[in-house]
Amino acid sequence: MRLESLLRYFKKMWRAHSCVPRRDSSRRLSLNCHRVTVRHKRICAFATVSVLLSAQQPPATFQTSTHLVIQTVNVKDKNGKAIEGLTAKDFTVTEDGVPQTVKFFEFQKLEEIPGSAPAAPSIGAVNLHKLGRTQIAPEPPGDVRYKDRRLLALYFDMSAMPEGDQLRAFAAAQKFIRTQMAPADLLALMMFTGGAVQVLQDFTDDRSKLLNTIQTLIVGEDQDSGDTINDASTADTGAAFGQDDGEFNIFATDRQLAALQTAAKMLGHLNEKKSLIYFASGLRLNGVNNQAQLHSTINAAIRAGVSLYPIDARGLVAQAPLGDATRGSPGGLAMYTGGSAMAAMSNFQRSQDTLWALAADTGGKALLDYNDLTAGMVQAQKAISSYYIIGYYTSNQALNGKFRKIKISLNGGLAASLDYRQGYFAGKEFAKFTSVDKERQLEDALMLGDPITELTIAMEVDYFQLNRAEYFVPVIVKIPGSELALARRGGAERTLIDFIGEVKDEYGSTIQNVRDKVDIKLSGATAAELVKRPIEYDTGFTLLPGKYKIKFLARDAETGRIGTYETRFLIPNLNKEEKRIPISSVVLSSQRVDLRDALYNAAKEKGKDKGKAEIANPLVQDGQKLIPSVTRVFSRSRDMYVYLQAYEPGAPGIQPLIAFVTFYRGQTKAFETPPLPVSEGLDNRLKTVPLKFNFSLAQLQPGKYDCQVTVLDPTNQKAAFWQAPVMLVP
């Protein structure tokens, strides 16, 4: 109202200063000057009003968003030949049964005859911005630089190849570039060193540039082409994949798979069909502990339109039954019964099974037991001939993270075989989620067959017998503190974590579940140490003997990043054990902490339930909790704790037992504790005998060892053995 009144006032002043022209020339000049002055005042007045109005009413802003879905479709007739000449009108695309409008359509026709790369135009000569060796350059809008080109990415896993295999892989890549690279081929060079995924060369057809880059790797000039240490002195390379917590980098199978997932996501920025040729000396899963990351890597490659073509850089291997000259002969009875040779063959076969699974599930093909490694590259080359690129803007704009099924068919009853991605997972925007949305997201993530591995999680599942029927199963989850975000609330720094998990039996029925939210308050000193120390969460279940599967999720409540761990485990029926001494799980640890230390422990139970759980948990004694080393990485500067239980349910009384711990490096005994005689146990029906060890690791050199626990019963002439790999670091 005040602005409108001011505007009326200026209009009134303008009318009051209006004059009638006079005959006198001097008076006329004076009048003109007066009119100019009044006009100037009016302009200033209206300018002032305009500024005030603009300050009071800011301009409106309209925002919209769309999601472009790209599909690469191979169309072949019954003879396996590519069908050409189709248009967008020949295809019908539906998403969750809803028809979609094709907005982008392109046909890619590739030449398959090897020859010299065209002199001009050369993709390698295009002036691309420097990428810092961390990513693949995306296609700018309207750019057709990759039209009718075959995209092949050579990925060298340096962390999984010894030097001999590396040289063999580099030689094969050089041979392919010199003699078998076709005019339609564009090659990119990528490498994983154990610390980061690096893009050594973006897609190019410049053979000299590719060969020079590979030659640099051969002569060892790359500073990151070996094992790295992760501490405060490590350079920040800005790499696309890397973690600060060295404890999660030692047992590197998950890390290798996660790096491969990162490489697939890099290639996902390009619309065309991509092939990633993966050079490695096998990839062996650690039992079932790496299933979540394996599924996540495969699904990421499928979403990115990447087919994996693993190549075993070892070639055709002829193994000596007792090992070659690079290692000592195995000891024990196995070397005479053939058990040692069978175990070596089994380990080799398992290392190739993972490569085969990666290829089969992503539409590629693995090259195994073949010395000419270029054959695998030629397979990837010939697999991509001609295909269609179809793009549409999805009509479902909900960012709910759910899976959306895509169906593509040909109109007019054309008989053809179509190969395309069957669906994708929608995006999710965590910042706008309500509490209900966050809870639903966590529950949906638990039900998804596609594990989310944005956070690194390690888990250990143990078992201890409670009575003749039940077993207490402690579950310990460890998360690197460097991956968690700190929130400042109530004058203190906190880290907020959501947990959800379930245990299913072998028939798929849910037996137990857990849902928890942990708010860990940190002091200034502990908050600074969070980047170096992991957060450990523990819970426990009471189960009967049998086969189970556990799936556990953790979510950073500040960023919405989720980590998944899933594995199968077995609880044996120790009541039926007659030939050996029944023993529980063996827990290896390097620290005992007070129960109130929230930096290391976040208990599930509250109040009375927490007290009951602590009584049942054998890892809690005298107000302190034994913290299992989930990844079994130990510092030589700290002592090691070993804890297990032996059971003598059928004995009339506690029988004396003898136990000791041995460290083996290969077939050589490196260390052994003095025998521990135990003649006392717990007063219960199972006649439980707790076995505790505490010793220094300072006398052992850093490296990998096999830790073996031996329990002997001299009275009944029985024994029990347990063995697991460990890593000692300075």
Over the stretch 360-381, which tens digit does the pLDDT of each residue have? Answer: 888 888 888 888 898 888 888 8
Report the alpha-carbon distance of residue 309 to residue 172 in Å, rounded: 14
- In the chain, the number of structural domains is 2
| Mean pLDDT, rounded, for 537-557 | 89
For residues 336 and 191, membership in a common domain is answered with yes
Residue 21 counted as domain residue:
yes
For residues 515-542, give the mean pLDDT: 75
Average pLDDT over residues 20-36: 40
Q: Is the dihedral of CA 525, 528, 529, 535 positive or negative?
A: positive
The pLDDT score that the predictor gives to residue 673 is: 92
pLDDT of residue 453 exceeding 70: yes
Average pLDDT (512-531) is 74
Classify residue 85: in a domain, yes or no.
Answer: no
Q: Which residue, 366, 384, 402, sits at the end of a domain?
A: 384
How confident is the model at residue 217, as a pLDDT? Answer: 81
pLDDT at position 23? 42
**Within a domain: residue 564?**
no
**Reported confidence tier of residue 272, pLDDT bands at 50, 70, 90:** confident
For the ranges 1-5, 140-144, 496-500, the lowest mean pLDDT is seen at: 1-5
For residues 304 and 201, membership in a common domain is answered with yes
Q: Over range 275-294, report the average pLDDT.
A: 79
Amino acid at 447: M
Strands 620-621 and 534-543, by their bridges, are unpaired
The least confident of 33-37, 66-70, 211-215, 404-408 is 33-37
Q: Tell whether 204 and 315 lie within a shared domain.
A: yes
> What pLDDT, on the 0 to 100 scale, is given for residue 278?
92
Residue 209 lies in a domain: yes
Of the pLDDT bands very low, low, confident and very high (cuts 50, 70, 90), residue 232 is very low
For residue 238, the tally of other CB atoms under 10 A from its CB is 11
* 81, burial (CB in 10 Å: exposed 0-12, middle 13-18, buried 19+): exposed
Tokens describing residue 434: 């309500």
Task: Give a yes or no: residue 363 inside a domain.
Answer: yes
Which residues are 307's β-sheet partners? 275
Residue 10 and residue 143 in one domain:
no
Based on the fold, state whether residues 48 and 139 are members of the same structural domain: no
Residue 158 and residue 254 in one domain: yes
Q: What is the pLDDT of residue 94?
A: 92
Q: Are residues 180 and 50 in the same domain?
A: no
Residue where a domain stops, chosen among 384, 416, 436 = 384
Q: For residue 602, is pLDDT > 60? A: no
pLDDT at 57 over 60: no
pLDDT for residue 241: 42
Beta bridge partners of 639: 696
Q: Which of 384, 419, 442 is the last residue of a domain?
A: 384
What is 343-357 written as a DSSP string?
HHHHHHHHHHHHHHH
Query: Containing domain of residue 50, as a range?
Result: 2-56
722 vs 487, residue with greater confidence: 722
Q: Judge whether residue 7 has pLDDT over 60.
A: no
* Mean pLDDT score of the chain: 75
CA distances for 727 relative to 76, 250, 392, 400, 702, angstroms: 52, 8, 51, 42, 7
Does residue 710 register a pLDDT over 90?
yes
Position 520 in a domain: no
Q: What is the pLDDT of residue 503?
A: 92
* Minimum mean pLDDT range among 188-192, 424-428, 464-468: 424-428
Q: Could you tell me if residue 379 is inside a domain?
A: yes
Nearest CA to 348 out of 376, 374, 314 is that of: 314
Residue 644 has pLDDT above 50, yes or no: yes
Q: Residue 458 contacts by C-beta under 8 Å, 6 or more apart in sequence?
A: 248, 477, 478, 565, 630, 631
Q: What is the CATH number of the domain that holds 351?
A: 3.40.50.410
* pLDDT at 504 exceeding the cut of 80: yes
Mean pLDDT of the 223-236 span:
41
DSSP 440-457: HHHHHHHH-SS---SS--
Closest CA relative to residue 104, chosen from 66, 63, 150, 62: 66
Q: Do residues 151 and 247 both lie within one domain?
A: yes
> How confident is the model at residue 270, as a pLDDT?
84
| 275 and 368 share one domain | yes
Q: Is residue 274 part of a domain?
A: yes
How would you classify the pairing of strands 633-635 and 718-729? parallel
Sign of CA dihedral 159, 162, 167, 171: negative
274-280 and 150-157 strand pairing = parallel
Global pTM reads 0.57
User: What local confidence, expressed as pLDDT, does residue 251 receive?
Assistant: 57
